[in-house]
Structure 1
């Protein structure tokens, strides 16, 4: 079955459309990861995402738990990504002076230099991927993604209870 066949087969009813959206998100995540992994010889997309989250979390704690929550992954997966970034010289992993149980993650100058170069490549790829959308469609899509987050968070809370 081709993607176009799947899209056509799932277009008839709401339940099928929901299944088609879910399958498409899963497939697109894998395809986006492949596109960006091929474009960057130094970091995987997951490593890049963790690095950018560290960069923009300067006012918050950058613990493995916090970063795992931002990534939508476990603390252990965030730690594994962080250790690979540390090994490559992009971050430093230390402990809070007043609480040795809390890990702090900070970017190195190498990471800053790397991000200045690679962010432009990422911006160009994103612009290309979303080139077919009008500004209004982007705004609508962003609002729908926000609603999807709310639904996922609701399910996560239900599972935690």
Structure 2
């Protein structure tokens, strides 16, 4: 039985393929009939069989010895070096190894729970947020955020309060215990920057800081503030502050939300 576009194979506990074929737009009912028939037939031959479905056309690996290996495309023109350096930095800082190192060094109360660590880290920047608003930032689906929030609630690190803009929804924020954990995370990150810029002069660091913040604010403005929405960092305010202009007080300034959340922490 062969049709292009869909493949299946039956394998046993041993590395042996009993049957294989390719199927194109196979009706679901016919597919299940094939599954049942194949398992029933294989049972008499090899005992327990496992059917593995692969919804893709057959494709063999390309032997690079038989083709001309082309170099990867190189960045050209203005910003080429900057782009590569930025890519290297972002990739490294978002790596699992770096995140796990900070999680461990900050003595995070939920060992190994990276999603909970990332969500709490978002609240350092946001102070309070709707749970679904941080889904994109921590790389998970909205349906999974509630489970992560619940683990943080049980640990006493996060609490809830009504959304002032929509009473039917709730917002989450750090409890006093959660703030202590957040301070440890910030301390670990700050210590790393102290080492990185140890041999930089104050003028060099100040100039770099202004240019980086200006860059991020400029990109954010061109992207309709997508960076602010995703990260929770108010880059526009950072740019204004570094330019020496007065910064208006914000309700999201760390401190206020924790007071409102006291007593609302779920207990195990």
**TM class, shorter-chain normalised?**
0.5 to 0.7
Per residue, is there more strand in 1 or in 2?
Answer: 2
- What's the counterpart of residue 51 of structure 1? 123
CA 139–17 in structure 1, closer or farther in 2 if over 3 Å, else same: same
**Equivalent pairs, count:** 144
Q: Distance in 2 between matches of 1:158 and 1:111?
A: 28
Q: Distance in 2 between matches of 1:73 and 1:147?
A: 26
Of 77, 88, 92, the residue aligned with 2:155 is 88
User: What secondary structure sits across from 1:132 in the alignment?
Assistant: coil
Q: Distance in 1 between matches of 2:225 and 2:94?
A: 27
Per residue, is there more helix in 1 or in 2?
Answer: 1
| Equivalence map 1:56-95=2 (5 Å) | 57=127, 62-64=129-131, 76=142, 79=145, 82-95=149-162
CA 13–97 in structure 1, closer or farther in 2 if over 3 Å, else same: closer
Unaligned runs of 5+ in 1: 1-8
| Equivalence map 1:17-36=2 (5 Å) | 17-31=81-95, 32-36=98-102
- What's the counterpart of residue 37 of structure 1? 103
Structure with more relative contact order (C-alpha pairs < 8 Å, separation 6 or more): 2
User: What secondary structure sits across from 1:101 in the alignment?
Assistant: strand
Instruction: Please say which structure displays the higher CA radius of gyration.
Output: 2
Could you report, residue by residue, the CA deviation over 1:13-34 in whole angstroms, capped at 9, with x for unpaired residues?
Answer: 5342143133223223225535
Normalized against structure 1, the TM-score is what? 0.60
What is the RMSD of the two structures over their aligned residues, measured on CA atoms?
4.0
